[in-house]
Structure 1
Amino acid sequence: MALEITNLKRAFKFKKDGEMVNLPDPNVDFTAAEVLQFYSMQHPVLTTATIAGPSIEEDKAVYEFKTTVGTKG
């Protein structure tokens, strides 16, 4: 029995108005920070976000962009 090595696909998500927004990987050559910068043009709330992860969910490596805008404390 031979082992098969596969790369996990990446996915990105962030919480907006209490709902999780899923974002596809725009370019596999981008780092997670470059993906965050790419999506911050479309979602300005991500300009101050931090990156958490990856966590493995099903067959994907999922990164979460965590924002502090609109939270108290």
Structure 2
Amino acid sequence: MAIQTQTLTRVFSYNGAEMADPGAHMSVEEVKEVYGASFPELVNATIEGPEVKGDKAVYTFARAVGAKG
């Protein structure tokens, strides 16, 4: 039995939408900062994953739950 390797594509998910990887050279935290410019709520978000789905490694940005005050 031969061992096969498969390259996974990083994908980022937020609020049900998939977002492309802006750069494979970037860390997941750096990607969060890039998308934080468009989605300010990501600044305090947590990162879950990766979850492998087919040929994708999906990282999910989850909003931090908290109370103002």
TM-score between the two structures when normalised by the length of structure 1: 0.79
Find the partner of 2:30 among 15, 22, 34: 34
Q: CA deviation at 1:45?
A: 1.2
Equivalent residue for 1:57, pick from 25, 43, 53: 53
Tell me which amino acid in the other structure corresponds to 2:8.
Answer: L
SS, match of residue 28 in structure 1: coil
Instruction: Indicate the RMSD between aligned Cα atoms, in angstroms.
Output: 1.8
Please give the per-residue CA displacement for 1:25-47, whole angstroms capped at 9, x wherever unaligned.
Answer: 00001111110011001111111
Runs of 4 or more, structure 1, over 6 Å off, are none
- Structure 1, unmatched stretches of 5+, are none
TM-superposed CA distance for 1:55, in Å, is 0.4
Contact 2:7/2:55 (8 A) holds in 1 = no
Whole-Å separation in 1 of the counterparts to 2:34 and 2:6: 26
Structure-2 residue corresponding to 1:6: 6
Query: 2:43 is aligned with what amino acid?
Result: T
Q: How many residues align?
A: 67
Question: Which sections of structure 2, spanning at least 5 residues, go unmatched?
Answer: none
CA deviation after TM superposition for structure 1 residue 3, in Å: 3.5
Q: Which amino acid aligns with 1:11?
A: V
